[in-house]
Amino acid sequence: MNYLFPTYQRWEVEPVSAKGAYITGTDGKEYLDFTSGIGVCNLGHCPSQVEEAVISQMKKFWHVSNLFPQGIQQRAAKLLAEAAGLDLVFFANSGAEANEAALKLARKATGRQKIISFTKSFHGRTFGSMAATGQDKIKKGFGQMLETFIHLPFNDSEALLNEIGDDTAAVILEVIQGEGGINIAEPEFLETVQKACQEKGALLIIDEIQTGAGRTGKPFAFQHFNLQPDIITVAKGIGNGFPIGAVIGKAELGEAFGPGSHGSTFGGNPIAVAAAEATMETIFNDAFLQEVSALGEYLTAQAEKTLGALETVVEIRGLGLMIGIEVDGNVPDILSDLRSNGFIALPAGESVIRLLPPLNIKQSEIDQALAFLADSLKKLTRTAI
Ligand SMILES: *Cc1c(COP(=O)(O)O)cnc(C)c1O
């Protein structure tokens, strides 16, 4: 019996419970989860400090609407703004909603229409965020897209300089394309984008929905580069599993988002915000983030050592605990084989196995994950011969 639209090709594992990096299935088996709910449960499944914050808020109030001032929203917004080096926050319920708000804000603040984005990007599946996305498979069958968006090749400075002009409202990009295949932006390209935006008066929007919340060893991935974005968007890992997204922007954009200009009934819901506050209090901490970087370096080095020489492995790349293993093989088949052995990972792009473990993963769990991967990838080589 199925009552759900078949928008997802669902896996064969049905969870009954989850804790830390493990999911227990209805089959009674334990699975090592290197997806974190697609980069969401960055502190692992059901961390106690988030549970306590949510329960505590549930005993106060659940929802009152954004017509009321709510101290908890101000506290969470301060954490986000200070971590990003920006000033003002708008709370949404998802990544796509955060991007929609950012795109609207950029158009209103600049009075311009055109928005530049890049091939292989992913910005969401709503009408505007889908049009911003640089992948045909996301848009196929949905007819004409919004004319606002121009897609340029990623990491191509010349194409950007040829296109950007006085009519450009914004450039939107991920510094590491997540869904598109763990494609890392080149520092020189980002510098060109930054400079061109400043020269032409276009806003720079960094989509940190997958790369934010400590995933790369900094609060936000743009902080690895010499960038001063006007707006960043976040979601996924910010609430460790509770639905929340946010636009974080410079103070001077405040005027364009005055009373009545934008809104959301559920945006900034106090339960989700309580989860986000507890999550960010843990993650936006130097010692915690240094450990994420160290674990990322360990994972990359060990992956290189145990998998790098395999015939099927083309490249291992990433930053912090956002790792892609590009393979010469059928990724869905490999992932299915891994699941049957007890390990869960994600695809990215056409040929990449994407690892997004919890940020507090144990070294022993990384070792275990690499053993699963080595096992499946070696098997693939044997059958291919
Ligand atoms: C997941 C994702 C989105 C969309 O977020 P939703 O919460 O699914 O709407 C947008 N941009 C990036 C980079 C993402 O990874």
Q: What is the pLDDT of residues 275-331, one digit of tens each?
A: 999 999 999 999 999 999 999 999 999 999 999 999 999 999 999 999 999 999 999
Name which residue sits closest to atom 11 of ligand 1, judged by CA: 123
Round to whole Å and give the CA distance between 375 and 337.
Answer: 10
What residue has token string 């049009």? 131
Which atom of ligand 1 is found nearest the CA of 125? 9
Q: Probe ligand 1: pick from 8, 176, 209, 247, max atoms within 8 Å of CB?
A: 209
State the distance from the centre of ligand 1 to the C-alpha of 151, rounded, in angstroms: 18
Which atom of ligand 1 is found nearest the CA of 129? 10
- Tens-digit pLDDT profile for residues 335-385: 999 999 999 999 999 999 999 999 999 999 999 999 999 999 998 765 554
Q: Tell me, what DSSP letter sits at residue 45?
A: B
- Tens-digit pLDDT profile for residues 73-118: 999 999 999 999 999 999 999 999 999 999 999 999 999 999 999 9
- Beta pairing class for 352-355 and 22-25: unpaired
What residue has token string 């410079």? 250
Radius of gyration of the chain (CA): 21
* Residues contacting ligand 1 via CB (< 6 Å): 94-96, 99, 122-124, 174, 178-179, 207, 209-210, 235-236
Cα–Cα distances in angstroms (integers) from residue 207 to residues 3, 60, 223, 349, in the given order: 33, 33, 13, 17
CB contact set of 295 (below 8 Å; sequence gap of 6+): 321, 359, 361, 363, 366
- Beta pairing class for 183-184 and 176-177: antiparallel
Please report the pLDDT score of residue 1 as a whole number.
Answer: 87
CB contact set of 69 (below 8 Å; sequence gap of 6+): none
Mean pLDDT of 207-219: 98
